[in-house]
Amino acid sequence: MQYSYTPSLTSSKSVLFALLILLSSSIAFAQHGGLRGRVTSSDGEPAAYVSVMLVELNKATITSEEGAFMFRNVPAGDYTLQATCIGFNALEQTVRVFHGKTVMHDFSLVKKDQRIGEVVVTGKQTLNEKPLSVGKVPIKPMDLPQSVTVIGGEVLERQQTQVLSEVLQNVNGVYLSGTTGGTQEEISGRGFAFSSSNTFKNGSRYNNSVMPEMTSLERVEVMKGSNAILFGNVAAGGVLNLVTKKPRFENGGEVSMRVGSYDYYKPSLDVYGAINNSEKVAYRLNTTYLNSGSFRDGVTAERFYINPSLLVKAGDKTDILLEGDYLKDSRTPDYGVGAINYQIAQVPRNTFLGVSFAENNVEQKSAMATITHRLNQHWEIRSTNSFQNYEANQISTTRPTGFIKAKDGSYNGDLVRGLQRTATNEKYYLTQLDITGKFRTGFMEHTLLVGGDADRYDTRTPAFISIAAYDTINIYNADKYEQRSNIPSFGRRTYDTKTLTNRFGVYVQDLISLSEKWKVLAGMRYSAIDVEGEGNTVVKGTDTRTTSSSYDYAFSPRAGIVFQPTSNMSLFASYANSFTPNTGTDIYNNPLDPSIIDQYEVGMKNELFNGLLSANLTLYQIKNSAFPQIALFTADGTSNTNTNIRELAGEITSKGVEVDLMSKSINGLSFIGGYSYNDTRYTKSNIYYENDRLRYNPAHTANASVYYTFQNARLSGLNLGLSSFYAGERLAGRNTRLTVANDVYRLIALPDYVLFDAHVGYSIQRLSLRLKMTNLLDKFTYNGHDDNSINPIAPRQFMATIAYKL
């Protein structure tokens, strides 16, 4: 097996240039008579779901979320174009269509003077009106006994989001918990880390060891709490689903250029339409290229991404959606400023402690096919099959732990740098079948989901010999030692580590409407996981082959009740459990049982002021009563020193409260905000002190974003925004161990912080300009992901995006 990588992305630029040519040709192939355009409101915002009609032909369509519409195969002549939408004055205009051409016709609608008191409202789906595709069955959030959030494309565009953590600043209870060497973001929710098993793209698991590309996303879906019934062994805090942009039959798209501080350059292209004016086949193509520096000296990033998709209407009842993406990401690994004796090293924010040749290279490819067949208006079958290949190769310094201690116990900043090389190749396969339907039994209405899934991970990890002492530097004085720059040869272990994981699950879930006010959600999943591993251990230079095998199964129930005293209020309570497979063996050398995690959730969802404001409150408790820890004694009663021998003696309890707020646009003003409190502790332990907090989880987070779009004609198209995010005190370092005398492990308190970002946008017809200033107050604090990996957050930065709608 070859673990090689070419970091240069010069060829990617050629591909992007070819795609620009494709853009030109895609506009040119509309050779039949047609009419297309974009509808906006008087404030320059896209007017979605507007009914547009060619009166003489009695031909109508509905605008997309971007306000786009299109008519194909229109005979040459003059027509009356009529547009109607609730909340807007009807509009009629005369248009002329020419033979062999597609006519472009944009127009704006004027809002009616519809008022509630003195308030003019622009209608869009609220927080409690957006069903989640990751839920597998379309259930309105008001009917769901669970906290959910959807962050749509409008917010992503306004905030010019670059990384996932920026999106999640709008979601309470889900947060950035670490940055893992600057090459990925570690996300957690309600006190539990989201691994790749908790991160999905279009409903299929996604390896989150690389930062996902945000320009391709249509929305981000978050289902908090237990989701084991839908996905098996997912972490207790919730799941994320990244939904990419889908093909459309109206021709359109966008070309943009984004620039920012520290040599940040990012051109992007998004083009979609019907192939050859077909009403059966549509396509979409997203692609982008990034080249960027960093506020950290010597740290750079370069990536190329492309996301093609194809929608085929194979019949009146069958849709076939084919999606793929390719990501090539190269960036400098950066393990931060380090901690000396569990105290953060006080060096300038830009100080980089790594070597000049460090690089982390990732190549990720995926393909997905979704077939949806509607049996009738009530029943549907959906089949999903996907494949993902993830390959990573890194050369970097080890975490900055080798600080030299003087005889008097002091430290002068001398650091012995070690080197490491790592590589991973992972192949992931998924097949899934869901049947959904609605029916009645007597007075009860049912929304049924029955399904099954099977997936497989094939992971290969070669073993390399690390270099414990490569050179010595001083973190306070770069000139004290001459730094080495040659790339050494890393020895290779004899064997690769191989892990083959097979998972299988079947599930059934039913939402039962007992009346207009009472609903019950109940279901059950059976999951089985088989893990086969091969590896090697090294003793005195000799490789010894080892194998391991485990098989786990679990039943994951879910039950919830919803009471809706009014159409605008929903009260709910639910119970669910999830499970986590464990590695290692018990004291009798048997595979360790999985941990079962119980979750309780109660809450209230409100649509206040006739739906102008969504206001939700959720309280939860999550308890893992069988958390694995190192066994204190072996089967014969002697003290245990083997970390692979474990017992389910620990208990972790997470509890908290979340408040979510989201408004519609009121006189051009809209708001997103909320607050969360989380307390995650070891409530039982044979290793750590009881009631010790777990690392990386802020006790308090809060967010607030306000946007205003000017309503008068002179400032039409101008909008302003201010967003803020607060993260409370967190802990890094390591929890002190009871079982080790004079334990040196300590926790590091990371200070709380507030970030403010400012946004300005201006649109005129198809052209738009967006400006963004992040960290307005230039706040200086850190994120931590290991005892000595402490990364400073970015300083104040500027970003601008110019875009043209096609």
Q: Could you give the residue ranges of the DSSP H alpha helices within 324-386?
A: none
Q: Residue 635: its pLDDT value, please?
A: 86
Model confidence at 539, in pLDDT bands (50, 70, 90)?
low
Between these two residues, 310 and 13, which has the higher pLDDT value?
310
The number of beta carbons lying within 10 Å of the beta carbon of residue 459 is 17
What are the structural domain ranges in the chain? 31-114, 133-242, 243-805
Question: Bridge partners of 371?
Answer: 320, 383
Q: Rounded to the nearest 5°, which phi and psi values hold at 91?
A: -135, 140
Q: Residue 331: its pLDDT value, please?
A: 96
CATH architecture, range 133-242: Beta Complex (2.170)
Tell me if 186 sits within 8 A of 177, measured CB to CB.
yes
Between these two residues, 487 and 114, which has the higher pLDDT value?
487
Sign of CA dihedral 83, 88, 90, 96: negative
| Nearest in space to 211 (alpha carbons), one of 164, 265, 272, 277 | 164
| CA-based max dimension of the chain | 94
Mean pLDDT of 254-271: 97
Model confidence at 7, in pLDDT bands (50, 70, 90)?
very low
| Helix or strand run (H / E) with residue 192 | strand 192-194
pLDDT tens-digit profile of 635-669? 888 888 888 889 988 999 999 999 999 998 888 89
Q: Can you tell me the distance from the alpha carbon of 707 to that of 124, in angstroms, rounded to the nearest whole number?
A: 15
Model confidence at 207, in pLDDT bands (50, 70, 90)?
very high
pLDDT tens-digit profile of 124-136? 666 777 778 888 9
Sign of CA dihedral 789, 790, 795, 800: positive
| Nearest in space to 239 (alpha carbons), one of 222, 214, 262, 264 | 222
Mean pLDDT of 356-366: 96
Q: Two tokens at 430?
A: 């998924």
Instruction: Please give the mean pLDDT across all residues of the chain.
Output: 88
pLDDT tens-digit profile of 14-65? 444 444 444 444 443 334 578 888 888 766 667 777 889 888 888 888 887 6
Q: Residue 15: its pLDDT value, please?
A: 45
CATH architecture, range 243-805: Beta Barrel (2.40)
| Domain 31-114: assigned CATH number | 2.60.40.1120
Q: Can you tell me the distance from the alpha carbon of 364 to that of 205, in angstroms, rounded to the nearest whole number?
A: 13
